[in-house]
Structure 1
């Protein structure tokens, strides 16, 4: 045994220092750096473990938060879908409302166009009526010289425009009012009345009595009223007058009538009326009728000179050959004398300015 031990562990000088190195290795473990490194490693291990635990907790929290977020996302998606559906429904309703509004706007535009057409047509109709009245007034002034008819036409045009408050019609209304005042201020005779008087005289020429046909008026018998049968006589306070017999009263009446027929009072300041034969009477009446017709024509033509001559000659014939004491003859003769002083030759105004205003109003209405 000793031999084996000696052979197994030979003592050599190189193996002798091994034990001190091992001791130095263990001693080196107790070095402060090693201890610090171990502490650091421990701290790092503890930190890693703690961090891992925190990461696990964080993973769990993140997973929980992700789950909650997914639920919220799903809820948001559901609400977003509901909102989208609502928006789509509102868009559909808005499209329907826009379509209705567009239709209403189209109808409003059509109604406005129709109103404009109706208003324009009404204005054109009124202006056409006014133009017709003005043309009638112009014709009455230029052709017939009838101021009264022209006034009536102008007044009807003014009344037609009175219900229209249009700015473009104001100059026309002023012009018509000015023409009416001008016609009213004219010093004209009543042409219609004189024409009617001449017409009546022409119709009665054949019935007017002549001067040589004049006979004294017959005396009307005075008939004394007889008391009624059964009436009581009226009491008189004065004494009763004795009346002559009836035959005597009739005799006196006849005598007085015959006596009045023998006496005739006539004027001596004019010559005796000429005795005319039936043929001359016809010619006289026809010549008088022709003179009156000529006077009426001159009246319509506003020829004052011819009118005065014809009426003067007709009045002279009536004074000489007709019975001026007759009521009808005296009345017609007075009409002729009155007509002789009538003023016919007056320059009548025209309506050109008013017609120009009408044309301007039409142009403004068309614009």
Structure 2
């Protein structure tokens, strides 16, 4: 069956677009209990962006430190319960930050209207009711969270997204000025998430003309930003990277990710490694699965003087590696795409353990 996915309802793009957020939200402030929730990356607390948030009396502003860990089911459940008890049902929720913040906003929007723990809804089309109005404002580009139909959460048993058409943002605000201050290493790691999305989308059985069109253009933009003459952190490249992230997210939505993301989920679930960095750690050793993609990735590493650690696996016990491999193995949709529907005949737990030992 062909995918029939829902896209973002509205998108505004351009420098200074963040200034339009207040007017955009005003159209929905009469909904539910008439207040907005803003979830904002802790990085911006006390910085100019924080003073530009269009907050009104009664609104809730939460600065969240996503450096400590990626979003968890426990975190989303607690946020939902606390706001409902103290404030009521929000008119909407706005995520201002990177992929983790946007996933928090997407997941919370769904859990405000769906009963029980978010652990009940980790998977495809398990959500019962549409969520509240939700807006994504990326301040770092690469994850594709601004366009994807998944809100990835780490639970007590698994790391898996709340995935359905209601997860997709109602509105995104793409302002290239907001990503200008991203530290160089994270500018690289998050941008490589976009690049890896496209490499994996292209190399698998679910690749098609539709997904290819987005991946092709996204990869071209990534090469301009990270590889070609004029590459680097410039205002023009910020615009290119923001669009590349969106297109990379659309490509994987209509195709799928593969081996690298399966390994990344294992690293994140067991070791708490942040997603984009985990992707880079894994992708650097997957030359036999993605030869051209990894070759170009290594050129980008060299060009931007990014050094990834080697020999990490020497510090991991066999128990730790086995746990990571078990997480990765239990992502059949990724292995189906990358290896084929007969992937279980070719990929075993030991195969995946050996891949982790490369790190």
TM-score by length of 1: 0.19
TM-score by length of 2: 0.20
From the two aligned structures, give the one with the greater helix fraction.
Answer: 1
From the two aligned structures, give the one with the greater strand fraction.
Answer: 2
Greater radius of gyration (CA): 1
| Higher RCO structure (Cα 8 Å, ≥6 apart) | 1
